[in-house]
């Protein structure tokens, strides 16, 4: 489950170190040993990374699509 930021606490992004006031939003994840958080900017970077990896994977070998159906 993902939690939202408490207004009183300043939350820092675990990736870039920016606080919640420097970015649009921060998603906080549950972590027993401390808060793990990611800001919208790092989420976008992560998304691009995932997409580029997928594109590369497709480039090397096309997904097994059934033809002629
Ligand atoms: Zn960040």
Q: Which residues are annotated as a binding site?
A: 13, 16, 39, 42
Domain that holds residue 44: 10-57
Nearest to 39 by CA among 22, 53, 54: 22
Does any domain span residue 37? yes
Centre of ligand 1 to C-alpha 41, Å, is 5
From ligand 1's centre to the CA of 35, what distance in Å?
14
List the chain pLDDT tens, one digit each, 69 residues. Answer: 556 555 567 889 999 999 999 999 999 888 676 678 999 999 999 999 999 999 999 886 655 666 666
Indicate the pTM of the whole model. 0.65
- Give a yes or no: residue 1 inside a domain: no
User: Looking at the 3D structure of the chain, how many domains does it have?
Assistant: 1
What is the Cα–Cα distance from 22 to 28, expressed in whole angstroms?
15
């Amino acid at each position: 489950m993902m939690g939202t930021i408490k207004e009183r606490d300043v939350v820092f992004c675990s990736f870039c170190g920016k606080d919640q006031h420097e970015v649009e939003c921060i998603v906080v994840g549950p972590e027993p040993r401390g808060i793990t958080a990611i800001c919208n900017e790092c989420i976008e970077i992560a998304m691009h990374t995932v997409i580029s990896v997928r594109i590369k994977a497709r480039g090397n070998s096309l997904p097994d699509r059934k033809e002629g159906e």
